[in-house]
């Protein structure tokens, strides 16, 4: 599985978030701000570039392909949406995304259906996904970050979030609710969705 994370205090938190999620990624690390996008190849701990710690917030993604590795890199952008995904999607034909979404689909990786679905159908676009996903999503027009999950975890606190719990004594209290869409960093619920299947229910 991949790892996702973010912080509004990169100087304080970013290195620890990179390190704590490093075990979840074996291919590459992506860091994103409205001004900077960078990808670093290689597993394990990677030092934080000083330039990015000056940003007001940073989103991150450790990539660990669950299928056959290919040249595609998370996160994916489709029009207004830029999305990082942790999980495996098992919608009908999702392993052939061009079959689902037509010849305009830019990738054969399952994650790309998420920004396309949101762009085309709003948050209702998530209801057609089966499998597991935990995501951050940035909307370029709104200049807003969103968090949402189905099965896979996102632990969130006042100024950071992560696939890995920060406080190990009671991690469930920081777990975002399944099927809800949150603005970040306010953590205000703004929408909901309900895929047809839950792999563990």
Residue 71 has a pLDDT of 46
Contact 112, 97 (CB under 8 A): yes
Identify the helix (H) or strand (E) that includes residue 196: none
Please, what CATH class does the domain formed by 3-87+132-192 belong to? Answer: alpha beta
pTM: 0.87
Q: Can you tell me the distance from the alpha carbon of 63 to that of 186, in angstroms, rounded to the nearest whole number? A: 26
Q: What would the pLDDT profile of 57-108 be if each residue is shown by its tens digit?
A: 999 999 876 554 444 556 888 899 999 999 888 654 334 444 444 434 444 4
What's the length of the chain? Answer: 201
Question: What are the pLDDT digits (tens) for 130-183?
Answer: 788 999 999 999 999 999 999 999 999 879 999 998 766 667 789 999 999 999
201 vs 197: CA distance, rounded Å: 8
SS3 state of residue 163: coil
């Amino acid at each position: 599985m991949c790892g996702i994370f973010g912080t509004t205090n990169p100087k304080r938190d970013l290195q620890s978030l990179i390190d704590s999620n490093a075990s979840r990624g074996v291919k590459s690390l992506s860091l994103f701000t409205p001004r900077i996008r960078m990808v670093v190849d290689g597993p394990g701990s990677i030092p934080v570039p000083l330039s990015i710690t000056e940003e007001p917030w940073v989103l991150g993604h450790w990539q660990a392909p669950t299928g056959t590795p290919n040249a595609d890199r998370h996160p994916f952008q489709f029009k207004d949406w830029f999305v990082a995904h942790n999980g495996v999607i098992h919608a009908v034909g999702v392993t052939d995304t061009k079959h689902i979404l037509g010849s305009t689909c830019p990738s054969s990786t399952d994650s790309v259906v998420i920004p396309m679905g949101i762009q085309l159908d709003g948050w209702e676009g998530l209801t057609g996904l089966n499998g597991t996903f935990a995501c951050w999503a940035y909307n370029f027009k709104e200049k807003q970050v969103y968090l949402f999950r189905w099965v896979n975890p996102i632990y969130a606190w006042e100024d950071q979030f992560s696939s890995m719990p920060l406080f190990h004594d009671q991690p469930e209290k920081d777990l975002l609710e399944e099927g809800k869409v949150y603005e970040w960093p306010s953590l205000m619920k703004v929408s909901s969705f309900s895929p047809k299947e839950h792999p563990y229910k």
